[in-house]
Amino acid sequence: MKRILIVMPDLKSGGAERSLVNFLTECDEKRYKIDLLLFRKSGDFLKQIPQFVNVIEPDKLTRDLFAMGQKIGLAPKIIKYVGSGVGKICSPCHWDKGRQIRWNAVYRYFIPVLKRKYDVAIAYLEGEATYYVADKVIADKKICWFHSDYSKLKYSTIFDRRVFKKMRWIATISDECVDIMRAKFPTLKEKIIKIENITSERVILKRAEEVADDAYENNDNTLRLLSIGRLVPEKGFDLAVAAAAILKKKGVNFKWNIIGGGPKEKELKLLAREMRVEDSVKFLGIRENPYPYIKQCDIVVQTSRFEGKSIVLDEAKIMKKPIVVTNYSTVHDQIIAGKEGMIVEISSEAIADGIIRMYQNNEERTVIIDFLNQNNYGNSYVVNKYYKVID
């Protein structure tokens, strides 16, 4: 039985985290002995990890360097301060590149190598999880996942090329993302492959039956909207708030729930107050189980500026919900316009117009729902692609 290591920062809400949980749920527990290493042993998805998976933490120094909101010793505090300072000085405007610099200039010289050797080590998220697997894990085979559009992030290809050379496979989640990464790393193109995020229809439909008391009020005259994602600029929730203001101005009676947490939460709540939509737009925070909310909503709205491949859209399709989504670069890998959802331009006006059109045009909405009902969107079979690259 192969010994596998999977590395993640934590298990807070996010598409990569949900995909990982789905993989572990679908994985044959007799096939591998799996250790899941978390820099921070936290997150709502922890309770969904199957019992056969051994959740571990790194050494104390590594835990302290990646700790958030807790007291740490003097030595890691100094290392963390120096590393973050170097990152900010060298890349003051780009956090992604700043983390690369922090790792390459400081962290990798202090973080010790993990003692246990593995047959396969998997970094399931881009950034420091990947750097850790590349530099600090001993394994016969190394694999990393990249869950976003590389061209939209500010990573340095110089740093990543060094890391990616150590990988047997570089997995990303859509055809568009594969093309982008191969263009960025032409000498590594044979290593770059597509493996979609796993969405388990069985798990989603079962968990959708659970109770969520704060989902929506029982009011047939209220349009129930839902968005899910981290509260970060790339998800475009500022556009959602502005679109809500347009809907309110046009007299639409609606409730828009937004599930997720992140650094822009306070700023977005303030924006909702300033635009006088705080009574209609509710930031519900992180929800370990978003599926009852999807079940109860009328339209799933995704306002992203860019994505790799959205697991939320896959989940909405499984639950046969009409979708309004912005026209980011990879959206056509996932949505057939007019059949699986409505694709609109990346602006608050276009988002609001798309919602109104989806709401009021019964014929167009019926065509989309009928098409969704005729197709099966669960893809637990993708677990076989995982087996192939691991074995």
What pLDDT is stored for residue 357 in this prediction? 95
How is the beta sheet containing 169-172 ordered, strand by strand? 54-56, 32-38, 2-8, 117-123, 138-146, 169-172, 192-194
One domain for residues 19 and 72: yes
DSSP of 29-47: TTTEEEEEEESS---GGGG
pLDDT band at 327 (very low <50, low <70, confident <90, very high): very high
Tell me, yes or no, whether 309 and 166 share the same domain.
no
- Which phi and psi (to 5°) does residue 267 adopt? -65, -40
* pLDDT the model gives residue 90: 66
| Structural domain ending residue among the three candidates 163, 195, 227 | 195
- Output DSSP code: residue 198: P
Supply the pLDDT for residue 333.
86
For the chain, percent of residues with pLDDT exceeding 70: 97
What was the pLDDT predicted at 146? 92
Residues 225 and 363 in one domain: yes
- DSSP assignment of 95-151 equals HHHHHHHHIIIIIHHHSPPPSSEEEEEEE-STTHHHHHHHHH-EEEEEEEEE-S-GG
Task: Verify that 117 and 15 share a domain, yes or no.
Answer: yes
Phi/psi of residue 254, nearest 5 degrees: -150, 160
pLDDT in tens, 296-317: 999 999 999 988 788 899 999 9
Amino acid 118: pLDDT? 97
Residues 6+ apart with CB under 8 A from 311: 15, 18, 19, 197, 199
324 and 257 in a common domain: yes
Residue 161 shares a structural domain with residue 270: no
Q: Is 292 found in the same domain as 158?
A: no
Burial classification of residue 190, based on how many CB atoms lie within 10 Å of its CB (0-12 exposed, 13-18 middle, 19 or more buried): exposed
What's the domain count of the chain? 2
The pLDDT score that the predictor gives to residue 135 is 97
Helix (DSSP H) and strand (DSSP E) numbers for the chain: 16, 13
User: Which pTM value belongs to this model?
Assistant: 0.81
Distances (CA, A) of 294 to 113, 215, 320, 323, 373: 43, 9, 10, 11, 16
pLDDT tier at 98, thresholds 50, 70, 90: confident
Q: Kindly report, residue by residue over 207-257, the tens digit of the pLDDT.
A: 899 887 777 777 678 999 999 998 989 999 999 999 999 999 999 999 999
- Do 190 and 260 belong to one domain? no
Encoding tokens for residue 347? Answer: 């602006």
For the domain that residue 83 is a member of, what is the CATH number? Answer: 3.40.50
Q: What is the DSSP letter of 337?
A: B
Q: Which amino acid is at 114?
A: L
Establish if 384 belongs to a structural domain. no
Average pLDDT of the chain, as a whole number: 90
205 vs 321: CA distance, rounded Å: 13
Give me the CATH number covering residue 238. Answer: 3.40.50.2000
Does residue 385 lie in a domain region? no
Q: How many CA atoms lie within 13 A of 113 on its CB side?
A: 9
Amino acid letter at 74?
Answer: L
Token pair belonging to 101: 């610099």
SS3 of residue 194 by DSSP: strand
Q: Which domain holds residue 287?
A: 209-373
- The pLDDT of residue 87: 67
Instruction: Note the pLDDT tens digit of each residue in 180-192.
Output: 999 999 999 999 9
Compute CA distances 116 → 108, 120, 169, 201, 390, whole Å.
18, 12, 21, 35, 18
Confirm whether 104 is domain-assigned. Answer: yes
Alpha-carbon distance values, 163 to 1, 125, 128, 198, 245 (Å) = 28, 13, 11, 25, 45
Q: Is residue 288 part of a domain?
A: yes
Cα angle 83, 89, 94; round to 5: 90
Please report which helix (H) or strand (E) contains residue 216, including its range. Answer: none
pLDDT class of 92 with cuts at 50, 70, 90 = low
- Is the per-residue pLDDT at 130 higher than 70? yes
pLDDT grade, residue 67 (50/70/90)? confident
The pLDDT, as a whole number, for residue 91 is: 63
Residue partners of 189: CB distance under 8 A and separation at least 6: 182
Band the pLDDT of 93: cuts 50, 70, 90: low
Inside any domain, residue 122: yes
Contacts for 375 with CB less than 8 Å, ≥ 6 apart? 317
**386: in domain:** no
Give the mean pLDDT of 82-106: 75
Kindly state whether residues 181 and 281 are assigned to the same domain: no
Looking at residue 100, its pLDDT comes to 86
pLDDT for residue 295 is more than 80? yes
Closest CA to 305 of 344, 248, 357, 359: 344
Backbone angles phi, psi at 338, to 5 degrees: 85, -15
Determine contact, residues 197/174, Cβ cutoff 8 Å. Answer: no
Burial grade of 317 (CB within 10 A; 0-12, 13-18, 19 or more):
buried
Percent of the chain with pLDDT over 90: 65
* Predicted local confidence at residue 80, as pLDDT: 80
Inform me whether the pLDDT recorded for 348 exceeds 70. Answer: yes
